[in-house]
Amino acid sequence: MATQVNEPKISIDASGLYYRELNERLKELANNGTRQVELHNVYGQRYIGTSLNAPLEIEIHGTPGNDLGAFMDGPRITVYGNAQDGCGNTMNDGEIIVHGHAGDIIGLSARGGRIFVRDSVGYRAGIHMKEYQEKKPTVVIGGTAQDFLGEYMAGGVLVLLGLNGGGEHRANFIGTGMHGGAVYLKGNVEKYQLGREVGMARPSEDDWQLIKKLVVEFAGHFKYNADEILKGEFIKLFPLYLRPYGRIYAP
């Protein structure tokens, strides 16, 4: 994505900046053709990356606030710290790489773009992600997730690596209402942890190619050994029905 790296990287001290001012600055920079920005001392400013429909690269040092990259269409955000709730909310395109944990509803309703989280995420990760034509949202989580992972999922790919918990996942209601897309999970889950609409299978050869590609990318971002990660067993979770609620209504 980074086509021009000759331009200087602009650095902004975000301490004491209200989110509107900060995002206004980012917008100006994006409009002026700046391609790389470094934000320091970020303390909870919301909506970073939201209205920048340009291929800006944003490095965040600190803790960005909720809705990081909400409705985002293009930028690439790297967070050195934890992300909060709603990271990648309704994202259309772009990339978010979190060197830490992320909160609830990461990737809610995303239609495109990619999110990599080094550690764990909160509740309802990847809820209602969908895909359309060439757009396919991808979320890769290094640790584990809380309940309702992949709820209502209508498309896209969720990968859960379980690197920090010895391969144990405690989430319940995984994939409840799922009717599209796929979840790849390293480690074990019991049947009772899954929603009723979810099937479990070994990954096919095509699935493996995708898993490998994403794990290699994940390992590259966070300095892991991809081969180590790929050694364990993976499970594929998929929707059993494309129309989970088709039969409960009568005219």
**Would you tell me which residues interact with other proteins (CB under 8 A)?**
20, 23, 27, 46-47, 50-51, 53, 66-67, 70-71, 73, 85-86, 89-90, 92, 105, 108-109, 111, 124, 127-128, 130-132, 135, 151-152, 154-155, 177, 179-180, 242-251
Whole-angstrom Cα distance, residue 72 to residue 112? 9
Whole-angstrom Cα distance, residue 200 to residue 188? 11
Closest approach of other proteins to the CB of residue 155, in Å:
7
Sign of CA dihedral 81, 49, 74, 153: positive
Q: Which two tokens stand for residue 14?
A: 């975000």
Whole-angstrom Cα distance, residue 191 to residue 96? 31
Closest approach of other proteins to the CB of residue 213, in Å:
22
Q: Which two tokens stand for residue 178?
A: 């799922």
How many other C-beta atoms lie within 10 A of the C-beta of residue 227? Answer: 11
Q: Is 96 or 219 the residue whose CB approaches other proteins more closely? A: 96
8-state DSSP, 8: P
Three-state SS for 177?
coil
Q: Is 76 or 130 the residue whose CB approaches other proteins more closely? A: 130
Q: Is 118 or 136 the residue whose CB approaches other proteins more closely? A: 136
Closest approach of other proteins to the CB of residue 73, in Å:
5
Q: Are 179 and 242 in contact (CB under 8 A)?
A: yes
First to last CA, the chain: 51
Find the radius of gyration of the CA atoms of the chain: 18
**How do beta strands 180-186 and 198-201 pair?**
unpaired
Closest approach of other proteins to the CB of residue 76, in Å:
16
Q: Is 154 or 159 the residue whose CB approaches other proteins more closely? A: 154
Closest approach of other proteins to the CB of residue 242, in Å:
6
Q: Is 177 or 187 the residue whose CB approaches other proteins more closely? A: 177
Closest approach of other proteins to the CB of residue 21, in Å:
12
How many other C-beta atoms lie within 10 A of the C-beta of residue 193? Answer: 17
Q: Is 109 or 146 the residue whose CB approaches other proteins more closely? A: 109
Whole-angstrom Cα distance, residue 169 to residue 167? 7
Q: Is 23 or 36 the residue whose CB approaches other proteins more closely? A: 23
Three-state SS for 10?
strand
Closest approach of other proteins to the CB of residue 108, in Å:
6
